């Protein structure tokens, strides 16, 4: 604690009274005053410390972590390459979409099996991704139509 705070804590309150935690003690005892005033100091919390309370902690075994990585990669490939013009990216999107839409459970890393192992509802994720795709394609069409109409008006 700095000297200014120590000095303020040891002094009587403005009307001459001594704080209750110093009753019967000499006002020069700075360690007791510091301890008492520490109760009234704000806690200093770093952003990282605050954010860790809201982060999900995974205690998954390595196989499930691998399944989570496969699922995450498929979703990223599906979303990032939706409107791609590059042939390689279009193939990545098509393969991810095919894997997500496939209901076959015959192999370990099938979409349905991965979702089940991770505790996710495969139909819910599938429906959400399809809904996202429809909305994104509609927005792309609208922006393309606006750009086309502006070019025609010029």
Query: Using H for helix, E for strand and C for coil, what is the string for 83-124?
Result: CCCCHHHHHHHHHHHHHHHCCCCCCCCCHHHHHHHHCCCHHH
Percent of the chain scoring above 90 in pLDDT: 46
Within 10 angstroms of residue 29's Cβ, the number of other Cβ atoms is 12
pLDDT value, residue 127: 95
75 lies in the same domain as 44: no
Span of 30-39, 61-70, 120-129 with lowest mean pLDDT = 30-39
- The answer to whether the predicted template modeling score (pTM) of the entire model surpasses 0.75 is no
20 vs 35, residue with greater confidence: 35
pLDDT attached to residue 57:
60
More confident residue, 57 or 149: 149
Number of domains making up the chain: 2
Residue 110 structural domain: 62-153
Please, which residues have CB within 8 angstroms of residue 18's CB and are 6 or more apart in sequence? 12, 27
Assess contact for 57 and 29: CB atoms under 8 A.
Answer: no
DSSP, collapsed to helix, strand or coil, labels residue 139 as helix
Residues 73 and 144 in one domain: yes
Same domain, 67 and 134: yes
31 and 79 fall within a common domain: no
CA pair distance 24, 145, nearest whole angstrom:
82
The pLDDT of residue 3 is 47
Regarding whether 24 and 76 lie in a shared domain, the answer is no
* Position 56 confidence tier, pLDDT thresholds 50, 70, 90: low
Integer angstrom CA distances of residue 66 from 31, 58, 80, 97: 54, 12, 21, 19
pLDDT at 36 over 50: yes
**d(C-alpha 13, C-alpha 8), whole Å:** 9
d(CA 79, CA 117): 23
Q: Does residue 83 register a pLDDT over 80?
A: yes
What tens digit of pLDDT does each residue of 1-14 get?
Answer: 454 444 444 454 55
């Amino acid at each position: 604690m700095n000297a200014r705070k120590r000095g303020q804590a040891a002094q009587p309150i403005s009307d001459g009274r001594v704080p209750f935690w110093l009753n019967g003690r000499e006002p020069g005892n700075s360690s007791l005053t510091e301890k008492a005033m520490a109760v009234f100091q704000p806690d200093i919390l770093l952003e990282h410390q605050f954010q860790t309370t809201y982060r999900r902690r995974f205690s998954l075994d390595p196989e499930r972590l691998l399944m989570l990585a496969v699922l995450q990669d498929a979703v990223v490939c599906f979303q990032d390459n939706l409107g791609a013009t590059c042939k390689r990216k279009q193939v990545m999107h098509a393969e991810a979409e095919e894997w997500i839409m496939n209901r076959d459970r015959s192999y370990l890393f099938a979409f349905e099996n991965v979702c089940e192992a991770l505790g996710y509802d495969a139909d819910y994720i599938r429906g959400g991704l399809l809904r996202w795709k429809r909305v994104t394609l509609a927005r792309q069409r609208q922006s393309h139509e606006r750009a086309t109409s502006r070019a025609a008006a010029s």
